[in-house]
Structure 1
Amino acid sequence: MSIVLTAGDVLEPKAFTVTRADLVAYADASGDHNPIHQDEEVARSVGLPGVIAHGMYTLALVGRAVADWTDGAEVVDLGAKFTSPVVVPAEGGAEVVVAGTVKSIADGMATLALEVTCEGQKVLGMPKAVVKHAGA
């Protein structure tokens, strides 16, 4: 990693558009073929507002943002709580925005405090990442 982070740095938000085609591809890759991720009728029948993105797909977008911000640094911890679904419309897509701040640098690690939203609503609770830091 060649990027040096400093505690307090605000990281440029990354936006990702999630489409129904992305959900199909993720289901094929992950083996998670739960119909709430592809079938509007099934999703609504279980009380959801529509087809939703896989939680792990949403977390994978966080991983992409972290990799971009840190020039591919080794991620040693990545986690969040799944708090609200990302509803993906049949046409177009849902925009997931990942924002972050460098919370701390210690013991050769950078801890990133993150915010993950869709349409202004937080979709992941307490998301964070810890990466090996170049400045250590």
Structure 2
Amino acid sequence: MLNAADLRVGQEFSAVVVEDLTRTQLVMYAGASGDYNPLHTDEVYATRVAGYRTVFAHGMLTMGMAGRMLTDLVGVDALLAFGGRFRSQVWPGDTLTVTATVTEADTEGGTAELDVVVRNATGEPVFTGYARTRCATS
């Protein structure tokens, strides 16, 4: 758990959550989530029918990886809210880095607000969002 007194607005926490995302990981996520949309697993459908360059990751896979970074940072029980917006596709081969930036630290209330950004290897944001976490106050 983070300590609110140790946090500063603008402070960043960052972690690589996947290196070289594989098609196998996309298929595994489809099976785990029950989301079998062929855009994520069927190369012929994604390219010839839908017109994409290849299959791409489920948005919720990207958000789930960001959520895992946050729970690793603050603890499962301390994460109070998490949400965001999908900005761009995540492709096989992508490496994703999550950065959580402190936007507010309430030392009296014991909470912190974070901006969350997931970027691919070229620095393009693929997910942007927010998180609120409980913090220790001593």
TM-score, normalised relative to structure 1: 0.84
Q: 1:121 aligns with which of 116, 124, 133?
A: 124
Cα RMSD of the aligned pairs, angstroms, is 1.8
Shift of 1:30: 0.8
For the structure 1 residues 56 and 128, does the alpha-carbon distance in structure 2 shift closer, same or farther, using more than 3 Å as the test? same
CA–CA distance in 1 between the matches of 2:32 and 2:53? 25
Pairing 1:1-136 to 2, within 5 Å after superposition? 1=1, 3-5=2-4, 6-8=7-9, 9-17=11-19, 18-44=21-47, 45-88=49-92, 93-106=93-106, 107-119=109-121, 120-125=123-128, 127-135=129-137
CA–CA distance in 1 between the matches of 2:14 and 2:85? 22
5+ long unaligned stretches in structure 1: none
Higher helix share: 2
5+ long unaligned stretches in structure 2: none
Do the aligned partners of 2:88 and 2:125 also contact (CA within 8 Å) in 1? yes
Percent of residue pairs identical: 33
How many residue pairs get matched?
130
Q: Structure 1 runs of 4+ off > 3 angstroms?
A: none
Shift of 1:64: 1.0
